[in-house]
Amino acid sequence: MIPVPPGVRVWLATGYTDMRRGFPGLSLQVQEVLRRDPLSGHLFCFRGRRGDLLKVIWHDGQGSCPIAWCSCGWSSAIAG
């Protein structure tokens, strides 16, 4: 479970996203398409075409937490 502080918004990308993109590419998409700061503390969620993969970008104030989920389970890596 992700301990999300109060006031954090969850942004869901509509449609599907090319899941070949890495987290830096998804962060760039947050900046250019949503015109939001990926380091703002909000959760940015991206869904793959088949619906079996979800990537989430979240900055917890100490570093970025890229999280990927597929139908086989969660995977998380702390970067920053």
Residues 25-76: pLDDT tens digits?
989 989 998 899 988 989 999 988 888 888 888 887 777 777 777 766 655 5
pTM: 0.77
- Whether residue 62 contacts residue 5, with contact meaning beta carbons closer than 8 Å, is answered with no
- Whether residue 70 contacts residue 52, with contact meaning beta carbons closer than 8 Å, is answered with yes
Encoding tokens for residue 33? 């398409």
- pLDDT of amino acid 9: 92
Encoding tokens for residue 22? 């890495």
Encoding tokens for residue 51? 């619906």
- pLDDT of amino acid 33: 87
